A and B are shown apart, each in its own frame.
Chain A
Amino acid sequence: MNKKIIYKLCLGFVFLCCASACEDALIEEPRTFLSQETVFSSRAGVTSATLGIYEPFREGNLYGWWLLGNLEFWSDYIFGRGSQANASLYILGSRGIGRVGNIWRGAYSVINRANIVIQQLNEREIPGVDATLASELEAEARFLRALSYFHLVRLFGDCPLRTMPETDQANLAIPRSPEEEVYTQIFTDLDFAEKNLPDVNYNEGRATRWSASGLLAIVYLTRSEWSDAAAKAKEIMDSGQFSLVEVEVPEDFQKIFGPDVVTHSEEIFSLKHARIAGLEFEPLWLMHRAGSGYSLGGNAFAWFGNPDSWLGDWIEEIGGPDLRTTDWMYNGPQDEQFLSAEIPMLFKKFRDTESDIPGNDFPIVRYTEILLIYAEATSQANGGPTPDAYEAANRVRRRAYGLPPDQSSEEADLPPGLSASEFQDEILLERAKEFVMEGKRWYDLLRTGKTLEVIRASGDKKAAIQEKHLKWPIPSEEIDNNNAMTQADQNPGW
């Protein structure tokens, strides 16, 4: 009996030793995670991977905070508060530079995701994905990639151009490419996107061919390619797909910017958010004063207006015929208590009075912008504003005044007889007003070459801006870890 036990135990021991040699137990099978192989082997997988490209735009590096914040407080009409005060006064320090670096990081994260999807779509036969769907998805990825490069090239100038994903850790070096090459890639991607994206996408918030057209119009405008810009804008105007949302009282603007709007008639491309933790439009806490009721939760009111800029005149009109001031700026008895000499004005264009997880969407291309692009580009292309140009601009202004957009109004319409440059200045001012808090002002100043002049004129506090601020610093993580770059590749002055 005892011997049997001994025998069995010893045998058991030996067996265990041998059995263990079987390495199957050590092979890892990811459970919560998916492998690339799994993701790109089904229609649902590749679609989800395409949707995943959108995510970084929503996150803190881009429109969730730093891209939007920096675009605004670097411009003339906004200051930052607290830790963001310095950068809005052009005192950057390593913190400010690091925050600008976040934008670079976020943009390349989009590009990498898009590259993976484009590569996989081209290299694989994916069950359930036919040629049409494949090119639609590729077009969507290319659209997002173009949007990312478009930010990069405007903010940083020459930048590394990667159009294929790099998976080899030892081979990540890549030099900067000239701006022109980056634009070439942007045009290639947007052309592809325009040709292959559906007119209407399956789900609100996904790019359509009109998203691509709208972005193309902005790219042409940025490059002062006036007739192309005008033509592209006209194409969108003539499509009949879009119209201005009607406004009669200030609160009607919330049909565009409100937290529970799913879509609206002037939406060409927006970042979609929802009142779900993690899917919210986060910057509300940076815009609002705690207890204001416009955003719930611990608010920082970190971005506030500069009354020494054009904004100072505009807010004089609060309660006046331009309904935008009333709806978009803190005003009235309830708001006033939250303002002070130090924090003279705050913005409430984006607000959610019901949830501390704000669901406001963020517009990237709106129909008003197409109209204003058409107006500016037509005027520039023709050496002065045409009636068409006036009409496009006036439609935006009339709507802002709560008037029917297609009926001329003495009060709202731009004065006749403006020269090309006077007209452009009017349009720029109109854009400043219309796109308050939409992150477009800095780009407008850059493309018109008026940055230093305008900003220096917007009060002593903003006077520290220098030439070097026109091209933002490349983050040190890039220069340090990219063997194709040295400090000599940094933008001048940083």
Chain B
Amino acid sequence: MKKHLLFLNLLVLLIFPWEEAVAQAQQMVFISNSQLHGADAAKANQQQRTGLKTVLKSLQQEYEVFFSYSDEIVKNKKVLFEFRPGQKLEMVLEQLLPPLGLKYQKVRGKFYVITKAEKVSDRMQYSRSEEKTMPVAQPRKTHFAPLPKLSSNRTIYVPLFQFPVTGTVTDQTGEPLIGVNVLIKGSSRGTVTDLDGAFSIELESGEETLVFSYTGYETMEVPVDGRNQLQVTLTESISELEEVVVVGYGTVQKRDLTGAVGSLEAEKFEGEVISNVSQGLQGKVAGVNVTTNGGAPGGAMIVRIRGNNSVIGGNDPLYVIDGFPVTSGNIGETNLLATINPGDIESIEVLKDASATAIYGSRGSNGVVLITTKQGRAGVDRIDIETSVGTRSVARTLDMMNSAQFLEIANERAVNDGNEPFFSPQEVSELSQINTNWQDEIFQPAMVQNHTIRFTGGSENTRYLVSGNYFDEEGIIIGSDFKRGSLRFNLDKDFGERFQLSTRISLSRSINNEVPANNIMLSALQAPPFLRPYNDDGSYVFGTDLKDFPFSPSAGTNPVSLALEQLNRRVIDRVLANVAGSYEILNGLVFKAQLGIDQLNNNSDLYNPSTIEAGIPAGSGSKSFGSTTSLLSENTLSYNTTFPNDDRLNVTVGFTWQEESNEFLSGSASGFVTDDLQNDALGSGQFFGAPNTSLSDWTLLSFLGRINYSLNDKYLFTLSGRRDGSSRFGEGNKWGFFPSAAFAWRLSEENFIRNIIPSSVSDLKLRASWGISGNQAISPFQSLQRFSDVGLAFGGTVTTGFRPENLGNPDLKWETTKEFNLGLEFGMWNQRLSFSADYYVKNTEDLLALVNLPPTSGFSTTIQNIGSTRNQGVELNLAGVILRKGNMRWDANFNISANRNEVTETATGQDIVGPEIEIVGPANVVREGEPLSAFFGLEIDGLTEEGLFNYVDQNGDDNVNDADRVILGSPYPDFFYGFSTNFTLGDFSLRMNFQGEIGKQVWFMDIYRFGASMHRGGNSFADVATERWTPQNPDPNAKYPRATQTLNQQPSEFYLAEADYLRLQNLRLSYNIPVDALNWGAFRSATVYLSGQNLFTISQYPGYTPDIDTFSSGDLRIGIDYRSYPIPRSVLLGLKVGF
């Protein structure tokens, strides 16, 4: 026994002075604990000690009483509290409060007031000269008990009273507030209001200031100014400084934050039609830019926190759900986050700067999104049902040419190319009569529905949440839909005082019927309007018939049959489960072990029936199975303490291990005799593809640590570090160290500052941080020289060959991001108005880049650590309550961010050219001094005499070639912003979110096929009919070039489109049915709401959606709209009831 005590001592001594700890422990109230509540509990559950406030809240519920106290006196007080049923409340309070220097008084009935027991230091300010022998003067009317006896021989000071003040305290509606704490500022003396909201108190001079505080209301300071009578109206609290914020491997109060962290409560996206949580982030957090590669059901989203750092290392943030760093990204059209029901989410924290993300080490450089799911509360068993049904539609369609215009240009093109007109005058007049709107054929009004039932609650030491959700979203393109069913089970169980077990289990199945949106839209937009999707007998017109003209493009098919007849289904089953046990070894010292699994199975079915393309006598199909298993073991030891001088220390150290393995298998066949079995009997096909399998895995081992210290509640320090070892890197480069340091200064707590700023300033904080985080998101095995197998057809059968896959690079190492962040937080009128500003510089070094090799090497590219990028930017956030009067409340939040991205160095100073888009060519380049993936191509100086593009010969060598390409623009906006406002009047409330981007350009690929005057032979935008160059009107400044097959088509500024926009992202009108007033029996609450998404967008952009980015991460093709699935407009009606 001695041995292990010694061991513990040693362990503890490493972290803090032993004596201090013991002293600290003795100050703790060893009552016991369990009644943690709700969100606070979920966040704080690794701390065995519970906040006093939380305990008081639970007691309120248990005894159905009401406590009144000033936040000031309960803050930062932690207790070990055990509730014993049947115990009298007074006994509990007797045990609980005095050791904390607090006392209570029963005001009347259910009202209790908690105040500070008199403490020596408090009284020193106003009667310094009095000696201890003075008798205690009894005020005429007081609610204070006699001073407690002090055992020491310390001096006791006693004040003099001579100025009586009386008054009443009410809320905004004029209702008296009972039990409001009234304190003389600078002392601990005070009183509370009675049942009529009245108080009376004796002052010394009448020059004092009274402080009125009340739970749920803002603390108010009223200078007495010699008045004997006061009327005080308190306003409801909107303070957020006490909020607990989840950070990596722990929690922290918002006021103690040293890093840049954005928080989002679930209610901010409640009632939106979202399949996944990243859609809910859109426009709501400064510095977080959420775009999409299309509006397909399942919601593949692109989330960028403070810009793009990496070339190929990936720019997606790390998602951590209830402590588990999950597999994220998209599989097909399905965002893996869509497998998690957003309705189960309690809060989201976005870690932005390195001081916040460095604790995630090698995965932190793109920011971290921490997601916390809901949990039940003790003692209150609840059932909540939410249901919503709505419709979606395409927000905008493109104007295309009609048949007459199509025929005219088709003939003009033939003539321009030296051929006879293709259509005779008679054909022209006949075909002009038919006008098919192909967009109407592929878009549909779609239905969306979402149903959730949630059971929450708990007893003394068990809390639970069980929820079920069904989400069904039809796509606005025919044939596409997404369905998800999910179950969640969250359970927290306390075993005795120190051991707690916490379980989070989520099961889901998502079924996504995908459609090849790009091909469908291509086919619909280019199809001749005088043709129809169906024959007279109702059968599909073959794709081949739709492009059966010599000028027809080779790509495309019948979009309707492609959408409806092709089977393209993906089923994703996911189990995300983790179990955490925490044990408080000593007071404040908690060991926590977490084990988790994230199992993703994805099955995909593909079948092309014979009806799609003419000539195929039989269909082709494939089936594939993929499985991703991620296992996590996390072990942390944390120590939390508050020193007698109120300094706080938190130390966390830990070890984690995560391993992921991926497997894939697919088979394909074609030549099926019948379409009936689709791809279910591949063996019945005539021809077979080679089976395709893959297997990969990676392991990450990490040691992490963090120290938070709060000195005098003014100076906050954070130091953190993580050492990561990754299997993905070359021998000798496997380990990386990621430290960070941060400092915050709460200026508003400094007297010399307080003296110069208005008293209405409630918070003023400066933050500065520096840190290093990494990015290891390259696929495993990149560092090795690899060979892979390849099929060959010697002798008419499959023969296996091996081919070298890459040039091995054993020098591959971590890509690291060094980030400096400077932040300012400012709040006024007790945070009624709050403002924060952050400036940051992120330098990414050892950039992992796909570098071009000379083709003579036998390879195209290799991955190297090369060059650097810099992101610097500013984020501003302004939030305030504009109006608060009676039952009216209007608040607003505005955020705006600017990020400047620059490539500071590339491989040997040379450009890295992005991949080609369709066959036009590459649109992006990585060049020193330019934004990552800047748009580049040829400049255009109008049209030539022949109506072709007149490219600018930049180098004057009389030869327009690749050497004349210049930077044309940036794929990033100058600014992006979000604005949200919430107006409540009684039971009605109206919420709106706007978002927009300024200074944004998009590479609008559609113009290649639909704006180049029928260059590729398909239908074109309607204005091509009137604004193109023609031999009759050879305008060198015409918007569109000559209609010809031999257009001198090159990547150029022709493709750039202005894409500034402002969108009403979400509007929600809700009504709380007053169930109590209506005597609705079992109902606890009921809300109906009407909500709309993407209701309008103000933009000049010629395509469907301005904020589109077709190609997802891991690619240099950034800022390109390549016929993405349009983002729909939605309207839905919802109902929420609680029992």
Given A49-B787, A95-B1050, A112-B859, are A277 and B793 neighbors across the interface (CB < 8 Å)? no
Q: Is the CB of B804 within 8 A of A113?
A: yes
Contact flags (1/0) for B411-440 with A, using CB distance below 8 Å? 000100111101000000000000000000
Q: Is the CB of A51 within 8 A of B799?
A: yes
Interface positions, chain A 349-374, Cβ under 8 Å from B, are 354-357, 359
Interface segment out of the listed A70-78, A102-110, A398-406, A414-422 = A102-110
Q: Determine which of B414, B697, B854 lies in contact with A172 in the assembled complex, contact meaning CB atoms within 8 Å.
A: B854
Q: Is the CB of B635 within 8 A of A26?
A: no
Interface size band for B? 35 or more
A28 contact set on B, CB distance < 8 A: 727-728, 780-781, 783-784
Given A160-B856, A342-B550, A357-B670, are A25 and B1016 neighbors across the interface (CB < 8 Å)? no
Whether a CB of chain B sits under 8 angstroms from the CB of A276 is yes
B670 contact set on A, CB distance < 8 A: 277, 355-357
Which residue of B has the minimal Cβ distance to A337? B548
Whether a CB of chain A sits under 8 angstroms from the CB of B871 is no
Interface positions, chain B 932-951, Cβ under 8 Å from A, are none
What's the minimum C-beta distance from A494 to chain B, rounded to whole angstroms? 7
What's the minimum C-beta distance from B416 to chain A, rounded to whole angstroms? 12
Q: Is the CB of A277 within 8 A of B799?
A: no
A113 contact set on B, CB distance < 8 A: 803-804, 858
Whether a CB of chain B sits under 8 angstroms from the CB of A302 is yes
What's the minimum C-beta distance from B211 to chain A, rounded to whole angstroms? 45
What's the minimum C-beta distance from B616 to chain A, rounded to whole angstroms? 5
Whether a CB of chain B sits under 8 angstroms from the CB of A166 is yes
Q: Is the CB of B802 within 8 A of A45?
A: yes
Whether a CB of chain A sits under 8 angstroms from the CB of B671 is yes
Which residue of A has the minimal Cβ distance to B546? A290
Whether a CB of chain B sits under 8 angstroms from the CB of A131 is no
Q: Is the CB of B794 within 8 A of A203?
A: yes
Q: Is the CB of A204 within 8 A of B796?
A: yes
Whether a CB of chain B sits under 8 angstroms from the CB of A20 is yes
A108 to B858, CA, bound (A): 5
Interface positions, chain A 29-69, Cβ under 8 Å from B, are 30-36, 38-39, 45, 48-55, 58
Q: Is the CB of A478 within 8 A of B585?
A: no
Whether a CB of chain A sits under 8 angstroms from the CB of B887 is no
Whether a CB of chain A sits under 8 angstroms from the CB of B962 is yes
Whether a CB of chain B sits under 8 angstroms from the CB of A384 is no
Q: Is the CB of A86 within 8 A of B4?
A: no
Whether a CB of chain B sits under 8 angstroms from the CB of A169 is yes
A26 contact set on B, CB distance < 8 A: 699, 701, 725-727, 734
A480 contact set on B, CB distance < 8 A: 852, 854, 910-911
A298 to B694, CA, bound (A): 30
A111 to B961, CA, bound (A): 29
Query: Interface centre among B420, B422, B543, B554, by most A CB within 10 Å?
Result: B554
B801 contact set on A, CB distance < 8 A: 48-55
A298 to B555, CA, bound (A): 7
A54 contact set on B, CB distance < 8 A: 792, 801
Which residue of A has the minimal Cβ distance to B671? A355
Interface segment out of the listed B684-692, B836-844, B1034-1042, B1106-1114 = B684-692
Whether a CB of chain B sits under 8 angstroms from the CB of A432 is no
A167 contact set on B, CB distance < 8 A: 785, 807-808
Q: Is the CB of B695 within 8 A of A296?
A: no
Q: Is the CB of A477 within 8 A of B614?
A: no
Q: Is the CB of B859 within 8 A of A276?
A: no
A494 contact set on B, CB distance < 8 A: 961
What's the minimum C-beta distance from A301 to chain B, rounded to whole angstroms? 8
Interface positions, chain B 792-847, Cβ under 8 Å from A, are 792-805, 807-809
Contact flags (1/0) for B673-688 with A, using CB distance below 8 Å? 0000000000000111
Q: Is the CB of B419 within 8 A of A298?
A: no
Q: Is the CB of B853 within 8 A of A481?
A: yes
Interface segment out of the listed A10-18, A220-228, A246-254 = A10-18
Whether a CB of chain A sits under 8 angstroms from the CB of B921 is yes
Q: Determine which of A82, A91, A104 lies in contact with B1016 in the assembled complex, contact meaning CB atoms within 8 Å.
A: A82
Q: Determine which of B637, B727, B1050 lies in contact with A94 in the assembled complex, contact meaning CB atoms within 8 Å.
A: B1050
Whether a CB of chain B sits under 8 angstroms from the CB of A178 is no
Q: Is the CB of A477 within 8 A of B794?
A: no
A28 to B11, CA, bound (A): 35
A167 to B862, CA, bound (A): 12
B1045 contact set on A, CB distance < 8 A: 81-82, 85
What's the minimum C-beta distance from B582 to chain A, rounded to whole angstroms? 10
What's the minimum C-beta distance from B514 to chain A, rounded to whole angstroms? 20
Contact flags (1/0) for B606-634 with A, using CB distance below 8 Å? 00000001111100100000000000010
A30 to B655, CA, bound (A): 26
Whether a CB of chain A sits under 8 angstroms from the CB of B26 is no
Interface positions, chain A 204-233, Cβ under 8 Å from B, are 204-206
Which residue of A has the minimal Cβ distance to B938? A94
What's the minimum C-beta distance from B130 to chain A, rounded to whole angstroms? 50
Interface positions, chain A 274-308, Cβ under 8 Å from B, are 274-279, 290-293, 296-302
A476 to B922, CA, bound (A): 13
Q: Is the CB of B554 within 8 A of A82?
A: yes
Q: Is the CB of A290 within 8 A of B615?
A: yes
Whether a CB of chain B sits under 8 angstroms from the CB of A200 is no
Whether a CB of chain B sits under 8 angstroms from the CB of A457 is no
Q: Is the CB of A105 within 8 A of B860?
A: yes
Given A36-B785, A165-B858, are A481 and B852 neighbors across the interface (CB < 8 Å)? yes
Whether a CB of chain A sits under 8 angstroms from the CB of B864 is yes
Q: Is the CB of B548 within 8 A of A290?
A: yes
A359 contact set on B, CB distance < 8 A: 793, 796
Q: Is the CB of B808 within 8 A of A9?
A: no
A473 to B659, CA, bound (A): 48
Whether a CB of chain B sits under 8 angstroms from the CB of A488 is no
A355 to B675, CA, bound (A): 16
What's the minimum C-beta distance from A41 to chain B, rounded to whole angstroms? 12
Whether a CB of chain A sits under 8 angstroms from the CB of B1072 is no
A91 to B616, CA, bound (A): 35
A477 contact set on B, CB distance < 8 A: 852-855, 860
A50 contact set on B, CB distance < 8 A: 801
Whether a CB of chain A sits under 8 angstroms from the CB of B1046 is yes
Q: Determine which of A205, A291, A292 lies in contact with B795 in the assembled complex, contact meaning CB atoms within 8 Å.
A: A205
A35 to B787, CA, bound (A): 6
A455 to B691, CA, bound (A): 46
Q: Determine which of A13, A51, A342 lies in contact with B419 in the assembled complex, contact meaning CB atoms within 8 Å.
A: A342
A116 to B633, CA, bound (A): 43
A10 to B15, CA, bound (A): 15
A104 to B855, CA, bound (A): 7
Q: Is the CB of A278 within 8 A of B690?
A: yes
Q: Is the CB of B919 within 8 A of A279?
A: no
Q: Determine which of A33, A55, A482 lies in contact with B784 in the assembled complex, contact meaning CB atoms within 8 Å.
A: A33
Q: Is the CB of A31 within 8 A of B701?
A: no
A3 contact set on B, CB distance < 8 A: 1, 4
Q: Determine which of A33, A160, A343 lies in contact with B550 in the assembled complex, contact meaning CB atoms within 8 Å.
A: A343
Given A32-B696, A97-B961, A298-B613, are A277 and B919 neighbors across the interface (CB < 8 Å)? no
Whether a CB of chain A sits under 8 angstroms from the CB of B166 is no
A206 to B616, CA, bound (A): 32
A54 to B802, CA, bound (A): 10
Q: Is the CB of B792 within 8 A of A51?
A: yes
B265 contact set on A, CB distance < 8 A: none
What's the minimum C-beta distance from B1056 to chain A, rounded to whole angstroms? 18
A461 to B1017, CA, bound (A): 20
Which residue of B has the minimal Cβ distance to A356? B616
Contact flags (1/0) for B699-723 with A, using CB distance below 8 Å? 1010100000000000000000000
Q: List 15 A-B contacts (CB under 8 A).
A: A16-B657, A20-B655, A34-B802, A54-B792, A55-B801, A81-B550, A93-B1049, A205-B792, A206-B794, A279-B798, A290-B547, A290-B615, A341-B420, A342-B422, A485-B854
- Nearest first, the 9 closest Cβ-Cβ pairs linking A and B are A112-B858, A300-B554, A277-B689, A52-B801, A51-B801, A482-B854, A274-B793, A290-B544, A33-B786
List 14 other contacts, CB 8 Å, given A272-B792, A355-B686.
A23-B734, A53-B801, A55-B803, A89-B1046, A93-B1050, A206-B794, A272-B795, A277-B668, A277-B687, A290-B613, A292-B615, A298-B543, A482-B856, A494-B961
